[in-house]
Amino acid sequence: MDLLTMSGIHKAFSGVPVLRGVDLHVARGEVHALLGENGAGKSTLMNILTGSYTADAGTVAFDGADLTGASIKAVEKAGIAFVHQELNLFNDLLAYENIFLGQEETGPLFSLNKRSMIAKARELFERLGVDIDPTALVADLKQSQKQLLEISRALFFDAKLLILDEPTTALNTAEVEHLFKIVRSLRDQGTSFIFISHKMPEVFELCDTYTVLRNGTFVAQGRIADTTPREVTGMMVGATISERGAWEPRETGECVLTLDHLCGPGFSDISMEVRRGQVIGLTGLMGCGTTELMQCLFGLTHPTGGTATAFGRRLAGGSIHEAMKAGIAMLPSDRKENSVVPDMSLLENMYLSEHVLSARRFVINRGAEQERFERYRKLLSIKANSSGDSVLSLSGGNQQKVFMARWLATEAELLLFDNPTQGIDVGAKAEIYHLILDLARQGKTVIINTLEIPELREVADVCYVLYEGRIVKRLEHDEIDEQTVMLYSTNSVADDRAAQTPAQTHE
Amino acid sequence: MNDKKATSTTGLASALGLVKKYSFVLVFLAILIVYAVANGGLTLNAGMNVLRHSAVIGTIAIGMGIVCLTGEIDLSVGSMLALVAGFSVVVFNMTDSIPLTLLFALLFGAACGLLNGVLVGVVQMPAFIVTLATMLIYRSVAQYACQHLPGELIGNGSSVYRMSNELGSYDALYTFGNARVAGVPIVGIVMVLMVVAFVFICTSTKFGKKIYAVGSNAKAAHLAGISVPLMKTLVFTIAGALTGLAAFLWVAMNASADPATTGNSYEMYAIASVVLGGISMSGGRGRMVGVLFGALSYDVIDKIIIALKMDSLIQDTIKGVILIVVIMIQVAGPQLKEFFASRRKR
């Protein structure tokens, strides 16, 4: 018997249909993968399920009750919990306070029964095998612990169905394993899950059944055991995508960036040489120092030792302006927070950085800006109606292209891409890889930081694996594969490393 | 008005969009109609008086507008007006020179704004606290200096800075503040010119776009290479210079400045004008031209109260109520629409 049945769900936003007759069935005690590209309607469907939106048509039945058009409160009470990608935790409260928020146990005179609540939280964490101190401040927890805390909170109130929206984005392999172990044991106890993810290996490792959406319509559902990642990806994008990457060996030019024993906040003793036209991959576990290294090169932080020389100029560090003038650009991670200027149009979002360099010419030349926009729109194939549209009207992939244009417009020669495909759907990812390779062919130098290893295979000529702020391995393109990179990222090859230490990867 | 006519042929949606975009014009027209009824008709002279009386607030509100666009606030402008106006009178009495007085007002205002800007932008203190403190400081300095400066410098007034009418330039300055060109008050022209200049700056210059970017998403602006501390410092400094200009207008119009009362609550009126003009207090959204209409609207409200022969002490009540109602319509309107739309479906 199905625990959840959503059928014939329709929803339109200001006349634009987002969902057109979508069905979703989730059985008791299974992990159900909800698959689809960004914009396929997954979030809208989930928001209808949780009561954040009201469906225009269609019914929702859960656990024998009709939940059509129910309020958020009623849905919660029925036993559905949504673990958001952006976690809904209060960083300034303690772990147990987050669990009991709004449902605190009180004694006489509204005083809080702290001891009892802490004990219950501890008992819950132990039962789930989660290693969190109930009295820890949430702000001090690691990302993975926050994720688990959020899940624990949902389970504490007897959720029968948990929606996990890309729960592994911020987790490393070991943490993902731990999360999956907990999910599996809960599933065996009868809890159901809806699992939203873009990572196929995870879906095939964890899930029992799946539903695929495309452009707001229902495409297929079935058992994971009966399908292949290739087939599912094909259903998501509508056509089978070619497996072969576009990478091929390229001629590289002179040395454009030299790091000599560079140290800074979060990384140390980084030495490398980067040549014109190269694509360099940086990878490692969350917090291994790759992001910090990029930020330091871009002048966000001050180096504490060693030297960085770009295009023959030694960088003093600590100034974005200096880095920009030296021809360095950085596309930061977390697009929404670090790149999007929400109140501005596409055009305005695009020209901001170039205007920093050309601030002396005070007045904006609209014609020239429009021309430049058209040029980059063609070059990067940005799908947009008009340059005056709000940047928020674009999908994630197209937004990211606008920000690539923002930096290309500054005529930067060294491009630092920090997790450029974060939260971007499969089709757009492939386009971004092509763009990166095209740029390299045209003589731009690219350094890309990513946690996704397949991504490195797609674009990187050379890959540096970092562990706790130090380079542990340099891999050529042909040596990059999931297993090898993971081995070095997790520092599982201690012997190898010890043998290398004297000569510490001078390239 | 023209906006409305032009769109009557196009879709209702775009018309509604325009109304939303230029709601400050509608608010102004509504208030103007009330005034016309209360006053028994509109005369050109009355309209010109509105322009004259909103010159000072309007000029200050422009500065407040760009400060709000970066997501900050400046509570010190009222006190700053008193301080700069008072000292400008002193400078005038010392030099008998209009250009020097104007230059002093602009520079002194900019310096007062720079202090705010450095504390907010560079030291990164909350603007509310910084400008609350400088609000106290500027007013207090104005009052203290008035008591302790030699009598001839403050025009021999007891507790008021007064321009000495024996000086050669007195008539010229006073005329500047009160005369009209082709029926239009000069001070009003100055204010409108400033609005035009800042509309241009905010829509067509790189500097203006950076103001919006900082207010819209400061982190993204920083990572796009914009120096957020510099932008904030500049914006507060410009707001200070505009307050300086307003102080000069005030002195020219009144020939005196009372440190205890000049500019009282003006920070509130300026903020209200900005909000009524459709600029978001959280920054990044809004148009400078709205500030003009916001400031004019507030002055017309004064005129209505006078026309109705009501007690002038009730002015602020009415201004406050209008502010709440207008913002309520802006904020609650979409929510109500959504609510009724979902009601109809069931």
B42 within domain boundaries: no
Please report the pLDDT score of residue A244 as a whole number. 53
- Asked if A348 reaches chain B (Cβ–Cβ under 8 Å), the answer is yes
Looking only at the bridges linking them, the beta strands covering A192-196 and B184-185 are unpaired
Residue with tokens 């991504």: A455
**Are A364 and B213 within 8 A, CB to CB?**
no
CA–CA distance, A332 with A297 (Å, rounded to integer) = 12
Q: How confident is the model at residue B8 (pLDDT cuts 50, 70, 90)?
A: very low
Residue A499 confidence (pLDDT) above 60: no
**Are A342 and B217 within 8 A, CB to CB?**
yes
| For residues A1-20, average pLDDT | 84
Contact, A345 vs A296, CB < 8 A?
A: no
The b/e string for B246-269 (b: 16+ C-beta within 10 A; e otherwise) is: bbbbbbbbbbbbbbeebbeebbbb
| B222 contacts in chain A (CB < 8 Å) | 320
3.40.50.300, 3.10.450.750, 3.30.930.10, 3.90.1150.10: which CATH number matches A242-327+413-507?
3.40.50.300
Give me the residues paired with residue A382 across strands: none
| For residues A220-228, average pLDDT | 89
Please report the pLDDT score of residue B11 as a whole number. 65
- Asked if B235 reaches chain A (Cβ–Cβ under 8 Å), the answer is no
* Residue in chain B lying closest to A337 (CA): B220
**Are A348 and B212 within 8 A, CB to CB?**
yes
- Asked if B4 reaches chain A (Cβ–Cβ under 8 Å), the answer is no
Q: How confident is the model at residue B337 (pLDDT cuts 50, 70, 90)?
A: confident
HSE at residue A372, side-chain half, CA atoms within 13 A, is: 23
- Asked if B210 reaches chain A (Cβ–Cβ under 8 Å), the answer is yes
B159 within domain boundaries: yes
- Quote the domain boundaries for residue B264: 50-330
Residue A437 confidence (pLDDT) above 80: yes
pLDDT 10s digits, B181-219: 988 999 999 999 999 999 999 999 999 999 999 999 999
The structural domains of chain A, with segments of one domain joined by +, span 2-237, 242-327+413-507
CA–CA distance, B271 with B67 (Å, rounded to integer) = 10
- Asked if A355 reaches chain B (Cβ–Cβ under 8 Å), the answer is yes
Percent of chain A with pLDDT strictly greater than 90: 40
| For residues A321-343, average pLDDT | 93
* Alpha-carbon distance B309 to nearest alpha carbon in chain A (angstroms): 44
* Total tally of structural domains belonging to chain B: 1
B1 within domain boundaries: no
| For residues B264-269, average pLDDT | 92
Task: For Cα atoms B226, B228, B230, give the angle at the middle one, nearest 5 degrees.
Answer: 100
Q: Which of A11-20, B12-21, B107-116 has the lowest mean pLDDT?
A: B12-21
Please report the pLDDT score of residue A485 as a whole number. 81
| A351 contacts in chain B (CB < 8 Å) | 209
Q: Which of A224-233, B20-29, B204-213 has the highest mean pLDDT?
A: B204-213
Q: Which of A464, A411, A417 is nearest to A273 (CA)?
A: A464
B2 within domain boundaries: no
- Asked if B204 reaches chain A (Cβ–Cβ under 8 Å), the answer is yes
Contact, A157 vs A103, CB < 8 A?
A: yes
- Asked if B213 reaches chain A (Cβ–Cβ under 8 Å), the answer is yes
CA–CA distance, A206 with A164 (Å, rounded to integer) = 12
Domain of residue B301, CATH code: 1.10.3470
Please report the pLDDT score of residue A179 as a whole number. 86
**Are A324 and B206 within 8 A, CB to CB?**
no
pTM (2 d.p.): 0.78
CA–CA distance, B173 with B99 (Å, rounded to integer) = 10
- Asked if A342 reaches chain B (Cβ–Cβ under 8 Å), the answer is yes
Say which residues have a Cβ less than 8 Å from residue B105's Cβ, sequence separation at least 6.
B84, B85, B88, B244, B245, B247, B248, B251
* Alpha-carbon distance A231 to nearest alpha carbon in chain B (angstroms): 38
| Nearest-by-Cβ selection for B223 from A332, A351, A362 | A332
Q: How confident is the model at residue B6 (pLDDT cuts 50, 70, 90)?
A: very low
CA–CA distance, B120 with B125 (Å, rounded to integer) = 5
Q: How confident is the model at residue B344 (pLDDT cuts 50, 70, 90)?
A: low
pLDDT 10s digits, A279-320: 999 998 777 889 999 999 999 999 999 999 999 999 998 899
Say which residues have a Cβ less than 8 Å from residue A408's Cβ, sequence separation at least 6.
A329, A376, A379, A380, A439
Residue A95 confidence (pLDDT) above 80: yes
Q: Which of A504, A455, A500, A499 is nearest to A481 (CA)?
A: A455
pLDDT 10s digits, A162-193: 998 888 777 777 778 888 888 898 899 889 99
Q: What's the CATH code, domain A2-237? A: 3.40.50.300
Contact, A382 vs A398, CB < 8 A?
A: yes
Residue with tokens 């200001």: A14
B37 within domain boundaries: no
